[in-house]
Structure 1
Amino acid sequence: MIRYIEIKSMDLLNDKFFAYIDEICIKESDRGQGLGRMLFDYSYDLVKSNGAESLELGVWSFNEGAIGFYRAMGMVEKNIRMEKK
C-alpha cells in the first residue's frame, strides 16, 4: 500500500520553475516491491511534462535508506542544511 506523495510547485523570482516532493510514504511492510520507484518515476514524469526544470526534495541525514533510494533514482545532493542548538 502506498501511503501518499505530496508534490508542491515552486516558482522562484528568477523564473526557475521546479517541483518539490514534500513527502513520500510507503508502508514499511510494502517496501522493496518497486512501489517507491514507480511513484517517484510517475511524479518525475508528471512534473517534467508540466514544465518543471527539476524535481527536488529534502531528506534527513540519518535516513540512509531514503538517501540510497533517492541516489538510485538519479538524485544528487544540492545543498546541506545545518543547525546548532
Structure 2
Amino acid sequence: MIRRAVLADIPRLQVLLGQILSVHHAVRPDIFKASGSKFSDQALKELMFNDQRPIFVYEDDKGELLGHLFLMIQEAQGSAMMPNKTLFIDDLCVDEAARGQKIGETLYQFACRKAFEWDCYNLTLNVWNANAGAVNFYERMGMTPQEMRMETIIHPHLENEQ
C-alpha cells in the first residue's frame, strides 16, 4: 500500500535516506559523505505538511515501510519557457533488503498517476550517471534523458581535505 508519510515514519525514512546516501557515496565519494541524511528530522516534518512537496511511503501488509517517494511540484520558470507544471521525483528508494519485488516500479507508476492527476506536463528526476542500477531502472520505466549536466573537477585534492 502507498500512503502519505506521517510523523511516525521519520525514523524509518531516515534509514532509507541513509541507504540512498550510501549508494551515492559508493559512486561519487568525492561529493557524498559516507553517512548521514539528505534531510534532518525537522525538515522531514516540514515536508510532510507541504502539499507542493509530498512524501509517500510504500508499506507492506505487515505494516513495514519498505520504500519512499519524495515528490515536488514545479512550475516552469523564465520567459523563454512554455508554461507547464512538472512533477519532480526528488527521491525514490526501496529498502535494499526488499529490492527485486517490483516496489520501485509500483512507486514509479504511482508517481506517474499523481502527475496525471495533478495535471502535470511531465515527470522528471535526476540520476547520477555512475549509478548504473538506477539509470537502468528508469530506462526500463520508459524515461529518457532530458538534459545533461557535465563537470570538470578543478581541485581533486580538495576531496581529501573535507
Structure-1-length-normalised TM-score: 0.93
- Residue 76 of structure 1, CA deviation: 0.3
Residue pair 2:74, 2:85 contacting (<8 A) in 1 also: yes
What value does the CA root-mean-square deviation take over the aligned residues?
Answer: 1.1
What's 2:97 paired with? 29
Identity, % of aligned pairs?
28
Q: Which runs of 5+ in 1 are unaligned?
A: none
Greater Cα radius of gyration, structure 1 or 2: 2
Runs of 4+ deviating beyond 6 Å: none
Point out the structure with the larger helix share.
2
Aligned match for 2:138, one of 70, 78, 83? 70
Secondary structure of residue in 2 paired with 1:61? coil
- TM-aligned CA deviation for residue 65 of structure 1: 0.6
Spell out, residue by residue over 1:26-67, the C-alpha distance to the aligned partner (whole angstroms, 9 max, x if none): 111100000000110011111111100100000001111111
Matched residue, 1:84: 152
Deviations 1:9-37 (A, max 9, x none): 11113321111000101111100000000
Give the AA of the match of 1:28: E
Q: Does 1:2 align with 2:66?
A: yes
TM-score (norm 2): 0.50
Distance 1:71 1:28 in 2: 20
Q: Determine the C-alpha separation between the residues in 2 that align with 1:54 and 1:68.
A: 20
Higher relative contact order (CA 8 A, sep 6+): 1
Higher share in strand: 1
How many positions carry a matched residue from both structures? 85
Q: Does 1:59 align with 2:123?
A: no
After superposing the two structures, state which structure 1 stretch, 48-57 or 7-16, moved more. 7-16
Structure 2: 5+ residue stretches without partners: 1-64, 154-162
Once the 2 structures are TM-superposed, how far is the Cα of residue 4 of structure 1 from its aligned partner?
Answer: 1.3
The one-letter code matched in structure 1 to 2:66 is I
